[in-house]
Structure 1
């Protein structure tokens, strides 16, 4: 799996980004409504204004914010609880190959994949990395492990906010980085992703950086 090899190769302590991460940490927490903005401007129009889908996402978002504000630890049980809100039905780890974007993206399945994913994300949550690096890493894991039968992009956005909010960091605008191409397995791009998010939080991001 290209993503697994890449995420294990990245030094998520990101020492070369210390100035950017420190600047992000200095930003006081505020409610930015970045999720609601992305939902209204991009997600809902892309899904024909599906009101039920939107309501489920907002309910899941409220739950994620509750968990973050209570400083609840990241667990597989919490992930599945929130994803049940997203999808409106009980959910577990997928049991077969998955596809996205009309079949353009294929996600392989193996019997050990669930255990590997759960062990990784729960251990990562305890490893002391900067919250921005944790948020990006979890976002990428949810996108590229593709653990759920559906709604993985929504899960990635939700738990990205959880990591930041739990550390009392504001969620930056989502579109500049959610819409960027992120090929699985690109170690250099993963690092640039952390830098872009950190600079978006601190207000230091530029259009040139977003296009890089």
Structure 2
């Protein structure tokens, strides 16, 4: 039996989550870039090549945030080429699966257009930055646009959205927890976690 389409479920949940309760974030300088520290620490210890690729992608994502480049699939694909060490990172051409097949992300003629619309919302200002960053992270996770490396793409997207607001989290490792497409409370809690990490100082 085919698993339910978790992407469709996410798009419904996305509209139900209480994004407006996301905490305000501080724009005070931090002495530590949590993404860089994560790459140079645990990622490097596991796989130095993976760490170097992630750092190159991170540099691009931060530079693109500084120049306020439009957040679209082409931008994500440019980071993903660095992440995977490839010359191209096309949008997937089939349904995608995660969590040992328990979540299926369907592909329809509208999937890429829907993803583009969601990415555009990440830079609109009707919601607090923590909410927009959390929502964009989950959009990438559940649209699952690439054949590989979507968790890394989601984290880079979160970093980019916050970077556009001059916000750098001093820690990102706690963000690396399993998220489910059918969990509106969990989606809102991710925005709350971003607020908690934003207040940490090293």
- 2:78 paired residue number: 81
* In structure 1, distance between residues paired with 2:198 and 2:17: 22
Q: Given that residues 89 and 146 in structure 2 are in contact (C-alpha distance below 8 angstroms), is that contact kept between their aligned partners in structure 1? A: yes
Alignment CA distance shift 1:196-1:107 (3 Å) = same
2:120 to 94, 119, 122: 122
- 1:201 paired residue number: 198
| CA deviation after TM superposition for structure 1 residue 163, in Å | 1.1
| CA deviation after TM superposition for structure 1 residue 119, in Å | 1.8
Residue 6 (1) aligns with residue 10 (2): no
- 1:208 paired residue number: none
Q: Given that residues 31 and 170 in structure 1 are in contact (C-alpha distance below 8 angstroms), is that contact kept between their aligned partners in structure 2? A: no
Q: Given that residues 28 and 170 in structure 1 are in contact (C-alpha distance below 8 angstroms), is that contact kept between their aligned partners in structure 2? A: no
Q: How many residues align?
A: 193
* In structure 1, distance between residues paired with 2:182 and 2:54: 28
| CA deviation after TM superposition for structure 1 residue 102, in Å | 4.6
- 2:91 paired residue number: 93
* Equivalent runs, 1:1-212 vs 2, <5 Å: 1-12=8-19, 14=20, 16-17=21-22, 20-21=23-24, 24-25=25-26, 27-30=27-30, 32-44=32-44, 48-49=46-47, 51-89=48-86, 90-179=88-177, 181-203=178-200
* In structure 1, distance between residues paired with 2:50 and 2:38: 14
Query: Which deviates more from structure 2 when the two are superposed, residues 69-78 or residues 138-147?
Result: 69-78
* In structure 1, distance between residues paired with 2:107 and 2:41: 33
The one-character-per-residue Cα deviations of 1:115-144 (angstroms, maximum 9, x if unpaired) are 111122113422432211111011011111
| CA deviation after TM superposition for structure 1 residue 43, in Å | 3.9
| CA deviation after TM superposition for structure 1 residue 42, in Å | 4.3
Alignment CA distance shift 1:33-1:44 (3 Å) = same
Structure-1-length-normalised TM-score: 0.80
Q: Given that residues 44 and 54 in structure 1 are in contact (C-alpha distance below 8 angstroms), is that contact kept between their aligned partners in structure 2? A: yes
